[in-house]
A and B are shown apart, each in its own frame.
Chain A
């Protein structure tokens, strides 16, 4: 088999594709040429696959909940198997199209640039799919991921060089290009003509000075079902619990930076705490939402766990990671609470902080250089 893809052979162009499939099935089996002669058992394939594994709870929850919301909307009785079946019919095509369209670009760039196919795409493809509403037309799914892969990643030189998280670039692209299919109240449940506002929209529309919790509970939203995720919303984002399970897995395996996640949570709680203290009859209802509710609202949990922790587009210094995470949390609340245009702020705040991450790192590194140069020499040197 291998011989067909080697240099000078007719299929040589597609060597990256062959290599990707080949090493997916069997480990590369290469040996070191120089020191270190022994290498760690982990490779990037394993790291990326582990992120995908961490996304399994959110994906499963997304499939189940999509079906569950459809049954609710149609007024049918609860049926466990039916939830999975209906959900899978809606969600799996989106995931498959996302992987297929994105994978096409990935392979195209690998073949023209003659490098191996990067496993990072395994993560991007599913992350993007999970941020979409279940009603998203499949052609828009494909256009979005194409934009994300090409303009979010490949034009910067590919994996490891991108400034923005490609999955979020894809999400932002469809958000601005096709707002009708990704916002409003008609898109979150995959039943034609059925409208239901998300919790974020419910609070936004509540009267000034009114209680946001009462408004939520009138609409059928409680802390527990928002935490568990049995609410309408983007496929993978509704369940904070599923994100929490994924987070625990990523932290145990030391793949995600705990500093970024902790920073996000701290920023979110701090900023929403400030608004909470300022609440009053003249203020927007959102001010009065207790800080811990923000954790289970919208896509925050998903964004903080899976998007903000992307090591390539985030900060690369430890102090920077705290600042980066904290500001994501702060911006998320700012956009949510006082910005009337966008219902959710996680996506935009992460993209915004992606742009600032190199600047934050720059100041941290400058500080490091200053500290280095101040380090005193030991006494008694002749020169």
Chain B
């Protein structure tokens, strides 16, 4: 067990953390699977509008590897299949019937699980719809069942702004969590790394067995899975495959084996100054956002599935994204301010030292979605690296990607990265550069051409 103190990065101080209290919500009126959440598969529809589904019925499968299935989180009726430009699949909306009937698979006892082979476990995870929760690096796509990963990382911490406290969610769930770890343990000959916060207190984490435990401390992105991989099993080339998943997915894997059914349960932290009741909601995958707010949504707010850094603007009629464990509500910006470039800024949210508030003690300030400026060419090229926890020369990596120089980008370590690792750079950049977007474009290019 080691402790890593991350020096780079910074926390954005903002209001609106969730109270540590779990509220169980009723089955939502609508849930949806959002095919754009999945990377690395070509989705093929398995249902049509009007079909009846159970919790665990495949809704989407991968065209090339149909054993990878994305299953319905609820029993009910397929209400709509919404497409965008070029018939891009956007939403598969299901209207739950509230009964939560499930597709039943084989159950295993703790003892039986220990004697299962790797292949049996993989088949069960695929069959039960839990597989898509396991993703791989490089490229952050759904893991490939034929690969053998060098290691598996369990991300049991989250340092995004207002992020849910994984330690709190795992409280009193040590038995299931350990079962989940034992299942995952079979998937690799390498190590299973359990990475959590230095201050974690739950038994599930502190007393976990058969895994290598490491703690991380420091500001965001100390909790990013890239940071953990960077220190424990760095990716140097495309064949260095590691798998990773979140702590809640470990519980999901355990439930699949113990109870013989897909568990759609999802704990979501409701955060942000725009949310009135800020708690941890116990709900299901793909829930309609408005279900989290009892239908009381405000028109001047942005509803984000995820954090302010890496979340997706779900809109008031949107749904919780597949992997997200947090919803953030912040006011929309767009008001114009007179001579903004000259204002002293006593309450400005900034990493720069160009506002009065930069020299005041750190405190939580209100934020909105204003860009605070227009897009420009990169001029201040020295600000990025202090917010990146990886050994990456960000500016040069960006240059290599923009120039389409795949070879140089790989040498500079792009395979270790995901766009989320650069969200703070985009936040702080005075030229409003979408740093993460450039990195993602580079990764996509490498995957396509490599």
Contacts and interface: CB of A to CB of B under 8 A. Distances in A.
Interface of A: 19, 23-47, 49-50, 116, 118-120, 158-161, 252-255, 257, 311-312, 316-318, 321, 361, 365, 368-369, 371-373, 375, 377-378, 380-383
A153 to B, nearest CB: 11
Contact of B190 (A316, A369, A381): A381
**Closest 10 pairs between A and B when the two form their complex, measured CB to CB:** A43-B373, A160-B377, A27-B340, A29-B336, A41-B348, A26-B336, A42-B352, A382-B189, A44-B376, A41-B350
Nearest to A252: B353
Interface in B373-388: 373-382
Residue among A40, A158, A375 having the largest count of chain B Cβ atoms under 10 Å? A40
11 contacts: A29-B335, A35-B309, A40-B352, A40-B430, A43-B341, A50-B354, A116-B376, A118-B377, A317-B396, A365-B396, A372-B411
B382 A34 contact: no
Q: Chain B: interface residue count, which band?
A: 35 or more
Contacts of A27: 336-337, 340-341, 370, 372-373
B1 interface: no
A35 B432 contact: no
Contact of A47 (B302, B377, B380): B380
A159 B379 contact: yes
Given A27-B337, A30-B374, A42-B373, A372 B413 contact: yes
A43 B426 contact: no
B427 interface: yes
A361 B377 CA distance: 19
B372 A311 contact: no
Residue among A27, A45, A119 having the largest count of chain B Cβ atoms under 10 Å? A27
Contact of A254 (B330, B333, B342, B353): B353
Nearest to B416: A372
Nearest to B357: A41
A372 B412 CA distance: 8
B345 A45 contact: no
B233 A377 contact: yes
B308 A38 contact: yes
Nearest to A23: B374
Contacts of B240: 383
B308 A383 contact: no
A45 B372 CA distance: 10
B377 A37 contact: no
B191 A41 contact: no
B315 to A, nearest CB: 12
Contacts of A49: 341-342
B352 A38 contact: no
A49 B352 CA distance: 14
Contact of B302 (A19, A37, A50, A380): A37
Contact of A378 (B232, B426, B427): B232
Contacts of A311: 379-382
Contacts of A312: 379, 381
Given A34-B434, A311-B382, 15 more contacts: A24-B341, A27-B370, A28-B371, A29-B336, A34-B313, A35-B308, A40-B350, A43-B430, A47-B379, A159-B377, A252-B353, A361-B396, A365-B393, A368-B412, A371-B391
A40 B12 CA distance: 10
Contact of A38 (B12, B391, B431): B12
Interface in B231-252: 232-234, 236, 239-240
Contacts of B302: 37
Contacts of B236: 372-373, 375, 377
A35 B423 contact: yes
B353 A253 contact: yes
A375 B369 CA distance: 40
B368 interface: yes
B41 interface: no
Nearest to B338: A26
A19 B150 CA distance: 53
B339 interface: yes
Nearest to B350: A41
Interface string B297-325: 00000101011111111000000000000
B411 A369 contact: yes
Nearest to A53: B342
Contact of A380 (B190, B239, B349, B374): B190
